Amino acid sequence: MSRILIVEDEDALRGDLIDYMHLQGFDAAGVGTAGELKKALEVQARPDVVILDITLPDGDGFHLAEMIRARLDCGIIMLTAHGDTESRVRGFDSGADIYLVKHSSLREITAAVHSLLRRLPQNQAHDGQTGTWVLDTVSWTLLSPDGSSVKLTATENSFIGALIENSGTPRSREELARILSRRQTQFDNRHLDAVVSRLRRKILDQTDIDPPIKSVYGVGYSFSAAGKIGSPQPGEARG
């Protein structure tokens, strides 16, 4: 289920958008200020799309778009009352993928979300790959939804297992470091990032699927796809 984060200070509009997105099958949440947005990005799983107002009581939407674009690989839709050419150009320059004015209907906004989701790299990479990833902790093997297998090191096996066990909820860097330190002393953030970088490359190279390991700003990492721990079931190839 795609996650939509709505940043809008008008309570009524924010509520309407959240309700309508839920009806369309999205996991939607909303915040009303720049401060709440920054906090949400620290404690919640990464959004797939951010719907962002330009004028907030404590922040500038253009600057927030630049911050989001620098830290996340999500889509950004600007929804604002400013329909002039200069604002549109500045919106795209700051990182917006789509620019809409506030008289747009809920159906039009939802259509823009669907269009943007189809264009995002992670969704293109997962076309036809909507099944479950399986981690075999005995053989240290990660099985992709299409049956491709990735042989893991002991550290990678522990890392993936920790993410899948958390059912999509982010694991903090500190918690992951403690888990991995059982196999290697003094496991710090630099070592953790190196493990993640190598593992992402390995998964992409051996499965041709965007790795379901996502950075959650200010927290740590999460497993963004359906995953389970156990031996492959009959009919599931090992690659």
Give the residue range(s) of CATH 3.40.50.2300 domains in the chain: 3-125
> In the predicted model, is pLDDT for residue 31 greater than 60?
yes
Per-residue pLDDT reduced to its tens digit, 209-237:
778 887 776 778 888 888 889 865 544 44
Q: Which amino acid makes up residue 12?
A: A
pLDDT for residue 135: 93
Per-residue pLDDT reduced to its tens digit, 91-125:
998 889 899 988 888 889 988 898 888 777 655 44
pLDDT for residue 231: 61
Average pLDDT, the chain: 84
Per DSSP, which regions of the chain are E strands?
3-7, 27-31, 49-52, 55-56, 59-60, 75-80, 98-101, 133-136, 141-143, 149-151, 171-172, 213-216, 220-223, 227-229
Among 18-22, 123-127, 197-201, the minimum mean pLDDT is found in: 123-127
pLDDT for residue 160: 94
Identify the band that residue 129 occupies on the pLDDT scale cut at 50, 70 and 90: very low
Identify the band that residue 130 occupies on the pLDDT scale cut at 50, 70 and 90: low
Both tokens assigned to 79: 């929804």
pLDDT for residue 220: 82
Both tokens assigned to 153: 């090191």
pTM, two decimals, is 0.53
Tell how strand 141-143 and strand 133-136 pair up.
antiparallel
Identify the band that residue 7 occupies on the pLDDT scale cut at 50, 70 and 90: very high
Determine what percent of the chain is predicted with pLDDT higher than 90: 34
Residue 166 Cα distances to 83, 108, 227, angstroms: 43, 36, 10
pLDDT for residue 53: 94
The answer to whether 33 touches 204, Cβ cutoff 8 Å, is: no
Class of domain 133-229: mainly alpha
Give the residue range(s) of CATH 1.10.10.10 domains in the chain: 133-229
pLDDT for residue 15: 94
User: Which CATH code for domain 3-125?
Assistant: 3.40.50.2300
pLDDT for residue 235: 46
Per-residue pLDDT reduced to its tens digit, 66-93:
999 888 888 999 998 888 888 888 899 8
Among 2-6, 122-126, 184-188, 211-215, the minimum mean pLDDT is found in: 122-126
Determine what percent of the chain is predicted with pLDDT higher than 70: 88
